[in-house]
Structure 1
């Protein structure tokens, strides 16, 4: 008997349009011989099952819908929400309360990895190299000289809880720091200021595949812009080279540290993390636990290089969740 799969997409953050695109790609590639797939839009204005012109509200009491006079419940939720409430774990705690399986890690691991500061604080305890950083809450006194003395120039200013490079800026001067802080606060009440790491940027997918932790082929990021910003990520202003042009020694180091980070953070499901190789040593930047899932996105590119189709990738995620 086919399983009913709810593909949740949309969300409450600036990443809503990207998430809807990812969710529709998952819908397109799910194995229709095994699954009945339903596109569920989770939006600030409401939760709806959407099928062309059909738009049916979701019953939030048990996460069900009524279609053609029949009540439909779901065996598993495929999480394609970038940002809140999918990637930060909020909606996953709700599914746990209802006893509905989902394709992501536990809500706590998702909340932890969505918080850049907390993730870095844990990984530093395990001797994972990272950039130097300063952490600010909205309302804190800003002393630019202290920031520069800690992280130097240039530096990066990031919202602590956000993705897809929304709100991120690179500061080359003290004046840039103040404008960057203002920009970041538009996305989040907490921000992170990090030192610039000069080296090769790579993106590494690590997933649970056939009951084993699998590191996917590494992607090298070469941005046409000053850094890997939104335009570089989504509007073609970068080269994404898979497999990355690394030496065998560098590749071994990246694979080892990527697997260690995934294990230390007690992850499951999808992840894609960013690293900068400084003099051959990988430095961790951040982890995405609901990475882009379109045909052009980095993790699907890596899966393809590893001989895994999108149908196989998505099927594996659902089967792992159901087990």
Structure 2
């Protein structure tokens, strides 16, 4: 008998479409001999859609109540809502209150990792370097020490992220980021190689995938370059044994300090001074072409086996 698994996609944030793609990919990759995927989708307006892609009710609260009834028929849930009201621990908390096992990090880890300022504080407390930065809540309150990167504190897929080289561009960049969040991080640019490290928590212990290097011809690995195909990946990244050890140790330190579970992608800049943390994703993109599944594929773990391991970790 197959196990019913709720696969939740969509969401009420700017990563809605990315989340839909992740959910569709996961549903298609689950081994049909083991699992029965049950699709649930959150529309932009917060209305939940059922397995037939129809609204479960006319209001958010009523549709949520109906979604909980469906969740109650499932053995566990895979929440694939990237960004706020999803990856930030919201759905993990919902499942926890409903007594439904949930793939991925719990509320605390999701909330901390989504908050880039809090992540910096946690990383620095365990000895992992981060870029010097300032927390900004209003335009015109930050002193330019460029070049800098302006980013919303709690948004994903690099939405609202801008590289600012001139003081005249700083305030408009902050204003644009404040449209997505009420707090903005302004960080000095770190010169180094962009290296991603993925950690997977499974029933037989943790596994670190081969690191991946991101190559961008110019500028940032921003929303446009993430999805237009212009960036290229080197997998595995060409690292010395010492560099690989430093990155792995730093990734595990941050993973443990935040309290992550399931899978997390820990992004670094590799500099002459060692790894500098960029950010942590507790629910990274999950299509077969996304970075994390590709990284574990390079370690010999197929996409369906990767999902199987995530599910076993949640049930445990």
TM-score range, shorter chain: over 0.9
1:77 maps to 77
Q: What secondary structure, in the 3-state scheme, does the structure 1 residue paired with 2:304 have?
A: helix
Change in CA separation of 1:14 and 1:225 when aligned onto 2, cut-off 3 Å: farther
User: How is 1:1-323 mapped onto 2 (pairs within 5 angstroms)?
Assistant: 1-45=1-45, 46-51=47-52, 55=54, 57=56, 60-61=64-65, 63-64=67-68, 73-137=73-137, 140=138, 142-144=140-142, 147-148=143-144, 152-279=145-272, 281-323=274-316
> Retained in 2: the 8 A contact 1:93–1:107?
yes
> Retained in 2: the 8 A contact 1:225–1:238?
no
Return the offset for 1:207: 1.2
Q: Write the distance in 2 (CA, Å) between the matches of 1:143 and 1:271.
A: 33
> Retained in 2: the 8 A contact 1:200–1:277?
yes
Q: Write the distance in 2 (CA, Å) between the matches of 1:105 and 1:65.
A: 23
Return the offset for 1:84: 2.3
Q: Write the distance in 2 (CA, Å) between the matches of 1:142 and 1:210.
A: 50
Q: What secondary structure, in the 3-state scheme, does the structure 1 residue paired with 2:248 have?
A: helix
Return the offset for 1:56: 5.3
Unaligned 5+ residue runs, structure 2? Answer: 58-62
Q: What secondary structure, in the 3-state scheme, does the structure 2 residue paired with 1:55 have?
A: coil
> Retained in 2: the 8 A contact 1:15–1:163?
yes
Deviation track 1:98-149 (CA, whole Å, cap 9, x = no partner) reads: 1011001111111111101011111111111110010012xx46244xx33x
Return the offset for 1:232: 1.4
* TM-score with structure 1 setting the length: 0.91
Q: Write the distance in 2 (CA, Å) between the matches of 1:96 and 1:153.
A: 43
Q: What secondary structure, in the 3-state scheme, does the structure 2 residue paired with 1:105 have?
A: coil
Unaligned 5+ residue runs, structure 1? Answer: none
Q: Where in structure 1 do 4 or more consecutive aligned residues deviate above 6 Å? A: none
> Retained in 2: the 8 A contact 1:225–1:237?
no
Q: Write the distance in 1 (CA, Å) between the matches of 2:6 and 2:55.
A: 13
Return the offset for 1:237: 1.4
Return the offset for 1:47: 0.5
Return the offset for 1:280: 5.3
After TM superposition, the structure 1 stretch with the greater mean CA deviation from structure 2, 160-169 or 86-95, is 86-95
Q: Write the distance in 2 (CA, Å) between the matches of 1:183 and 1:233.
A: 19
* TM-score with structure 2 setting the length: 0.93
Return the offset for 1:62: 6.4
Structure with the higher fraction of residues in strand conformation: 1
Q: What secondary structure, in the 3-state scheme, does the structure 2 residue paired with 1:202 have?
A: strand
> Retained in 2: the 8 A contact 1:203–1:219?
yes
Q: Write the distance in 2 (CA, Å) between the matches of 1:296 and 1:106.
A: 25
Q: What secondary structure, in the 3-state scheme, does the structure 2 residue paired with 1:112 have?
A: helix
